[in-house]
Structure 1
Amino acid sequence: MKALLVRDLALALRAGGGFGLGLAFFLIVTVLVPLGVGPQAELLSRIAPGILWLGALLACLLSLDRLLALDWEDGTLDLLATSPLPLEAALSIKALAHWITTGLPLVLTAPVLAILLNLPGPGFFWLVLSLALGTPALSVIGTFGAALTVGVKRGGLLMSLLVLPLYVPTLIFGAEVARRGAVGMETQTPALMLAGITLGVIAVMPFASAAALRVNLR
């Protein structure tokens, strides 16, 4: 499992896995929003949590199309399906590698980009916490979408249509945690809901992803 994780991290950093692409997209969204809505500090403060979360979600989505494609092209998926390592564990490792190379950099850079959107000071901690709780779910759900569409020509659009509805609960509660924290409101309920969604996704989705991938490999 460790060797598979190291291999996937190396591929993500070297072969267009979305590491730099996701960060660049996140930066572009954050820079363009103030130009589009105007420099009003109060307005930017109000919409900052939602914009930052939406940018992070789309940045994760942008890097999903190559999550399993390289392994499909070189036959690695067939080897994984017949190896002693359960396919569910292999896909979990791939989701972890995607989060490390895409989700974690977004979590770390979000406070810096939040300055551009005039996020109130108390909201920085809750923004980072919500992204840390929610982005793992985005990677695991994205792995499910990649497993469903692997081998499909130009399957990126189809995967987006399949994955985006599953991302909505994470987006709602993640943005709500950041919004409530920024204005000093109670954040326990949305934070627990967000954590529950992530834990549920991590527990269930690898089995669904493995089942979908087995169907596509037949």
Structure 2
Amino acid sequence: MSFLSRVILRYGALVMVVNALMGEALAAPVRILALGDSLTAGFGLPAESAFPARLEAALRAEGRDVRLINAGVSGDTTQGGLARLTWALAEKPDLAILELGANDGLRGLDPKLTRANLDAILKRFERERIGVLFTGMLAPPNYGPAYEAEFKAVFSSLAREHGLLFYPFFLDGVTGNPRLTLPDGLHPSAQGVDEIVRRILPSVRQLLDRHAAQGGAR
């Protein structure tokens, strides 16, 4: 075999390898990080009934190739979520759903601190070029209307400042419904998780469509 023939064969083999690797990359599922607290983690539920698992199942049923990463930790505040963000990002997500703040509200933490923590998380996502669906939270009424209003405004103002897709209340349609919550009245039951998924699904579709429109690039 001549030198030229050997070069051509080697070049052809290299092209095949590159094409195979590119094909694998193109076929890889979109990785969505669900960063949150017990509402994401699936407190009191089997793993397959947690929000990330049920959302992944709903999206796959529509033919969307996705993988949800459950980065929910029960009891986590926004400060806790910020502290473990680098660890969570080791999963190399393409997109993220940010659900934090419920425990800040339950503990009556200063909304300014909640805002600073969430802002730092969002800025890190921006630096990593990770598209975000930002979900809001409401404070319990026992701290008074002034605290409720200030706490609620944290989420909507951050969404505007960062130009984010925004889902105003993660527990919309579930809070206050005993059929959709566990006996503690705070956490969603399996049926409650399905209701959250049903309501938030249009926003997640929009997040995925934006990602696809941008070529899936980070």
- Shorter-normalised TM range: 0.3 to 0.5
Higher strand residue share = 2
TM-score by length of 2: 0.35
Higher helix residue share = 1
Structure of larger gyration radius: 2
